[in-house]
Amino acid sequence: MRVKRRILPERIGKAFDSVNPRLTKVFLPWILKNPRYLTGAGLLLKAFNESEETRKTMLERDNLMVPPIMILSITNQCNLSCTGCFAKTLRNSGDNTLKKQAMDFGCWESVINQGRDLGVYTFLIAGGEPFMFPELLDICAGNRDRIFVIFTNGTAINEAQLEKLKRTNNTAVIVSVEGGKELTDDRRGTGVFDCAIATMEKLHKNGIVGGISVTITRRNYGFWMEEENIDYFIERGAKLGFFTEYIPTVEVGDTAISRSPMGDLNIESSSEQTTILTDCERREFREKILRYKDEKSLFIIHSPGDEELFGGCVSSGKGFIHVNPYGDLTPCPVSDIATHNLRHDSLRNGLQSPLFREIRDSEGLLEGGDGPCALFAHQDELEELRKKVGAYRTGL
Q: Are 55 and 68 in contact (CB under 8 A)?
A: yes
Q: Are 285 and 224 in contact (CB under 8 A)?
A: yes
Q: Is the dihedral of CA 268, 175, 279, 227 positive or negative?
A: positive
CA 153 to chain centre: 13
What is the model's pLDDT at position 275?
A: 81
What is the model's pLDDT at position 255?
A: 47
DSSP state of 101: P
In the three-class reduction of DSSP (H, G, I as helix; E, B as strand; rest coil), residue 303 is classed as: strand
* More confident site: 12 or 288: 288
What is the model's pLDDT at position 169?
A: 93
Judge whether residue 6 has pLDDT over 50.
no
Rounded to 5 degrees, φ, ψ at 330 are: -115, 160
**Across the chain, what does the average pLDDT equal?**
85
What is the model's pLDDT at position 270?
A: 45
Quickly state the pLDDT bin for 111 (edges 50, 70, 90): very high
Average pLDDT over residues 182-195: 95
CB atoms within 10 A of CB 388: 11
DSSP state of 253: T
* Residue range 294-339, pLDDT digits in tens: 999 999 999 887 876 655 678 888 889 999 999 999 998 888 899 9
What is the model's pLDDT at position 367?
A: 65
CB atoms within 10 A of CB 260: 24
Among residues 19, 16, 43, the alpha carbon closest in space to that of 30 is found at 16
Give the integer Cα–Cα distance in Å for 87 and 259.
10
Quickly state the pLDDT bin for 287 (edges 50, 70, 90): very high
Give the integer Cα–Cα distance in Å for 256 and 266.
8
What is the model's pLDDT at position 223?
A: 98
Give the integer Cα–Cα distance in Å for 23 and 240.
10
Give the integer Cα–Cα distance in Å for 321 and 302.
17
Among residues 249, 221, 215, the alpha carbon closest in space to that of 377 is found at 249
Among residues 233, 198, 228, the alpha carbon closest in space to that of 213 is found at 233
Angle, CA 49 vertex, CA 314 and CA 324 arms, to 5°: 40
Q: Are 216 and 256 in contact (CB under 8 A)?
A: no
Q: Are 11 and 45 in contact (CB under 8 A)?
A: yes
* Residue range 73-83, pLDDT digits in tens: 999 899 887 76
